[in-house]
Amino acid sequence: MAGERQGRLSDRVRVIIAERLDKGLRDPRLGFVTITDVRMTGDLQHASVFYTVYGSDQERADSAAALKAATGMLRSEVGKRLGVRLVPTLEFIPDALPENADHISSLLREAHERDAAVAGLAAGAAYAGDEDPYVKPRELDEDEADERA
């Protein structure tokens, strides 16, 4: 039951912050920020807000500073719209999702290239021994089949 409430509040906080950022802050440092996830502690006192920023490293740093500066305002907005007795503290954490996705893409590309190289080597390869090394039961000729019957 508590986990269900925690999940509902996390989703609600994510929507409230995303809508507020969509309206815009009066901070020119804030870039194109996307709220990816919000995780609440079990006692609902702290919310870790994960976000990504589209742009360069400098734009990411500027957006992080803008979010840090706007934390109080965003927390009061969350408190107003949530209607809970104790408003959770907000902590903005850059989400490493895009970097991880790029890394995984490069690993997959490298694996594909290696697979293609191995397939190229295998195309011209010959078997070291017999083509089919497994022993098969020999087929009985007609005389042996008659004897067994």
Per-residue pLDDT tens over the stretch 82-140: 888 888 989 988 887 766 777 788 888 899 888 888 888 888 777 777 777 777 777 66
Identify which of 48, 47, 51, 50 has the alpha carbon closest to the alpha carbon of residue 88.
Answer: 47
Phi and psi at residue 92, to the nearest 5°: -95, 125
103 within some domain: no
Residue 63's pLDDT is: 84
**Overall number of domains in the chain:** 1
Residue 123's pLDDT is: 81
Residue 117's pLDDT is: 86
Residue 46's pLDDT is: 92
24 within some domain: yes
Higher pLDDT pick, 66 / 130 = 66
Judged by DSSP in three states, 49 sits in strand
6 within some domain: yes
Count of other CB atoms within 10 angstroms of residue 64:
19
122 within some domain: no
129 within some domain: no
114 within some domain: no
Model confidence, pTM: 0.61
How far is Cα 111 from Cα 120, in angstroms, rounded to an integer?
14
CATH of the domain at 35: 3.30.300.20
Q: Each residue of 17-56: pLDDT tens digit?
A: 888 888 877 777 777 888 888 998 888 889 998 988 887 8
109 within some domain: no
Query: Which residue range forms the structural domain that includes residue 52?
Result: 2-98
65 within some domain: yes
